Amino acid sequence: METLIIILVGILTAVAIYLILSRNLIRLILGTAILSHAVHLLILTMGGLKNGTVPLLGEDATVYVDALPQALILTAIVISFAVTAFILVLAYRAYQELGTDDLEEMRGADDE
């Protein structure tokens, strides 16, 4: 199972990097969103999958899955949402000001 997920993480990462390397601002933002998906899956997998029950005390079990990665991911989901929202608005504003969403055209002058 873990192997399969890690391969999926690799595919997601490759797609994300390709999108981030794009000239189009929206593709770039989409790339960062996918990259955070990939990272969340990777962190969860590193803690081991399905080797216990839900980490809620009181369940009739002695072994729980690793709760620490879950806590980390919960934070990461929220932060990545904040970042995505911010750069989306940044893209919107950049388009308003510069009239383009092409990074090649946004390139600054030499003396900037």
Q: Which of positions 12-31 make contact with other proteins (CB under 8 A)? A: 12-28, 30
Rounded least distance, CB 20 to other proteins, Å:
5
Binding status of residue 50 toward other proteins by CB under 8 A: yes
Binding status of residue 111 toward other proteins by CB under 8 A: no
Show the site string, 54-93: x = touches other proteins by CB under 8 A, - = not: xxxxx-----xxxxx-xx-xxx-xxx-xxxxxx-xxxxxx
From the list 17, 43, 41, 14, the residue with the least C-alpha distance to 31 is 17
Distance, in Å, from the CA atom of 11 to the CA atom of 42, rounded to the nearest integer, reads 12
Residues contacting other proteins: total by CB under 8 A: 89
Binding status of residue 9 toward other proteins by CB under 8 A: yes
From the list 32, 34, 42, the residue with the least C-alpha distance to 73 is 42
Rounded least distance, CB 88 to other proteins, Å:
5
How many angstroms separate the Cα of 57 from the Cα of each of 18, 34, 53, 61, 97? 42, 33, 10, 8, 53
Residues written for the chain:
112
